Amino acid sequence: MSPGTAPLLERQKIFHSRDAEQTRAFLRGKEFRFEVLPRDLPGLDVHINGVYLPGAFIGYIHYGAAVTVRATPARDDYWIQLPVCGSIETTTGRASVACDAGHAAVCAPMQENVLRSAAGSARFNVSLTRGAMARQLTALLGDVPRQLVAFEPSVDMGSGYGRSLGRLLHFAAHELECEDSMLWEPHAMARLEELLITGLLLSHPHSYSDALRRLDRPVAPRDVKRAIEYIQANLADGVTMTDLVEQSRVPGRTLFKHFRDFTGVSPMRYLSNARYERVRDALRHAQPGDTVSQIAMRCGFTHMGRFAVEYRQRFGEAPSTTLAQGGRGRRA
């Protein structure tokens, strides 16, 4: 670590050690492989500090010595590696990024990611779960992403998104050292996570960037508005394409095209998405004694097996988990 640079998040200690075998065992439990050369052992001084959010982790990591850390494909989270001092190098697939004060890196999940940290280096490590990423992208797109998001691996820290991210992480790290910080409030924690993920999706290039540009779309045509109003008012009923054509007062082909142009999805896909959003909200605000099946049926779902599978794909958790979390929130 650079002279005069104090570790961040020291009140949020997760693991501290000067022992290579202890460090190796700890990281192995997190699906990481740790490597350090014998000649570098005297400089080993590991500080892993951090705070867990519902679907993310904000960490500060310093190894002291030059080390290599490999994430196994069992890890299903995205990483943002942002140097605080010194330099690191990340490799994801064929892409390598040299990270320093001017550049950070975004690493993809479910493949081997390799990080090489130079002696004396320290970094922010932001981990975003695959489920949290999928939920936020679904909300932005209005449809379920069918593939993992592929981000450009290098982030420019000198301007725009990168510079804002650096300021945000330093602010969060200092705030989270204070017991009375507003960030410890659960809703504030959730909003911080949402800000990290939304900022990444809207500001940094990735495989869905073109699709997200339709957020700057024009006002919906009147036929689409009428169809959407009918859908929202009849989510629990067996809405058909014929119903939507009658309500919109335009031919089916015209309605389909206008829906695609405005929402990016077909009318029936929009209906399905709206039902899942409705059932998720209902599960979060269920009354004591309500079951997943009762709530799902009230929202228009009749096949519980298909419902549970699709729900997990969309939101990264089982319906029963959402219901249980809602209950804990009410008790709290």
Contact (Cβ atoms closer than 8 angstroms) between residue 170 and residue 120:
no
What gap in Å lies between CA 177 and CA 10, rounded to an integer? 8
Q: Which one of 26-35, 85-94, 207-216 scores highest in mean pLDDT? A: 26-35
pLDDT at 4: 45
What gap in Å lies between CA 65 and CA 47, rounded to an integer? 11
pLDDT at 11 over 60: yes
| Residue predicted with more confidence, 20 or 141 | 20
pLDDT at 214 over 80: no
Contact (Cβ atoms closer than 8 angstroms) between residue 225 and residue 244:
no
What gap in Å lies between CA 149 and CA 154, rounded to an integer? 15
CB neighbours of 118 closer than 8 A, spacing ≥ 6?
66, 86, 87, 88
Contact (Cβ atoms closer than 8 angstroms) between residue 104 and residue 164:
no
pLDDT at 332: 45
Tell me the average pLDDT across 292-304.
Answer: 90
Q: How far is CA 165 from CA 92, 106, 174, 204, in A?
A: 21, 12, 14, 11
Domains of the chain (ranges; CATH) run 10-213 (2.60.120.10), 221-331 (1.10.10.60)
Confidence of residue 291 (pLDDT cuts 50, 70, 90): very high
pLDDT at 177 over 60: yes
Q: How many CB atoms lie within 10 A of CB 311?
A: 23
Q: Which of 292, 230, 304 shows the shortest CA–CA distance to 267?
A: 230
What backbone torsions phi and psi does residue 131 show, to the nearest 5 degrees?
-65, -45
Tell me, rounded to whole angstroms, the distance of Cα 191 from its chain centroid: 12
What gap in Å lies between CA 177 and CA 100, rounded to an integer? 25
Contact (Cβ atoms closer than 8 angstroms) between residue 283 and residue 319:
yes
Burial per residue of 88-114, b for 16 or more beta-carbon CB atoms within 10 angstroms, e otherwise:
bbbbbeeeebebeeebbbbbbbeeebb
Q: How many CB atoms lie within 10 A of CB 223?
A: 20
Average pLDDT, the chain: 89
pTM of the model: 0.67
What pLDDT digit, counting tens, does each position of 225-234 carry?
899 999 989 8
* Helix axes 241-248 and 267-284, enclosed angle (nearest 10): 100
pLDDT at 5: 65
Confidence of residue 218 (pLDDT cuts 50, 70, 90): low
Residues in the chain: 332
Confidence of residue 186 (pLDDT cuts 50, 70, 90): confident
Using only the alpha carbons of the chain, give its radius of gyration. 23
pLDDT at 220: 65
